[in-house]
Structure 1
Amino acid sequence: MRRFVCLLLLSITNAIALENSASVKVTPQLASATTWDGKPVVYPTGTAEVTTLMIEVAPGGETGWHKHPVPSFALVLEGSLEVHLKDGRTHRARAGDVLYEVVDTWHNGRNVGEGTLKLFVTYAGAKGQPLTIKEPPGE
């Protein structure tokens, strides 16, 4: 996966907002038209609203099954994350990794590291639209 992301980043050099200089270092982290499970990115309609959250998960802790109706991007600041989908697929990310989260797909995130998992997540949503929907009990 890292090799794929590196190749993808090499192909987006024209999309960099700032250029490297003596006092500025620019390192592309993510550019993709699909989420990590291969679904296309679709922005919600309505008045745009960008939200950022710092999410911390204790060792062994889980987010619980949920889905995001809007695109979101996560930077793993500390720890190791394992994301499980209902179809059995999993995705792992560790400190320094950036991932394009799945959209409208039930998933559960789990801290598989020994310390606190810290995620910096940005949601590209719309005013009044939820960022996360918890799975109803019994489903």
Structure 2
Amino acid sequence: MDTSRQRSRRIRRASAVAGCVAALGLLPSAALATPGSGVTATVLAKGTTAEGLKIKTKGRTDVVVRTITIAPGGETGWHYHQGPLIAVVQAGTLTRTLADCSVERSSAGQSFVEPDGARKVHNGRNLGTVPVVLYVTYLVPEGAALSVDAADPGCP
């Protein structure tokens, strides 16, 4: 026969398990991420500063320069960056859909800056017939990923 103490312990344990299961449902899932397609990237140069740059990073900052090519019909998938980046469009036209569902287009010879943070998700697409070629410089905390997959915020 259960004592009231044993019963109370089982109820607390069951409540804790139920709470953990419910909390897991609130976490972003990799299944919600939108994978990219038709994208290739090559690191051209990489270095780490001796001190943090004034870009919200404490400690050292990785500076990475890459060329990114997006084939016609390709896209980056929804993602964000852990540090700001500056990009120059060398060829083609990049169409970026931003977190607020606004759309920005950048053509060859133009540049743009992408701010950092999970609230700044975006998806880059090549809606043209020629490859989009970008030269991108990232400024991220030392050891941080250059991009983090994110869920589509519900843009059409």
State the partner residue of 1:132.
Answer: 147
State the partner residue of 1:112.
Answer: 127
Name the structure where strand makes up a greater proportion of residues.
2
Alignment of 1:36-115 (within 5 A): 42-104=55-117, 105-115=120-130
Task: List structure 1 runs of 4+ shifted beyond 4 angstroms.
Answer: 136-139
Counterpart secondary structure, 2:109: coil
Counterpart secondary structure, 2:75: coil
How far apart, in 2, do the equivalents of 1:65 and 1:134 lie?
A: 6
Length, aligned pairs only: 99
Q: Can you give the 5+ residue segments of structure 1 that lack an aligned partner in the other structure?
A: 1-40
Q: Does the aligned pair in 1 maintain the 2:96–2:105 contact within 8 Å? A: yes
**Structure 1 residues 88 and 137, CA, compared in 2 at 3 Å: closer, same or farther?**
closer
**Structure 1 residues 75 and 45, CA, compared in 2 at 3 Å: closer, same or farther?**
same
How far apart, in 1, do the equivalents of 2:64 and 2:125 lie?
A: 22
Name the structure where helix makes up a greater proportion of residues.
2
Percent identity (aligned):
36
RMSD of Structure 2 on Structure 1 (CA)? 2.1
Asked which structure has the greater CA Rg, the reply is 2
Q: Does the aligned pair in 2 maintain the 1:43–1:71 contact within 8 Å? A: no
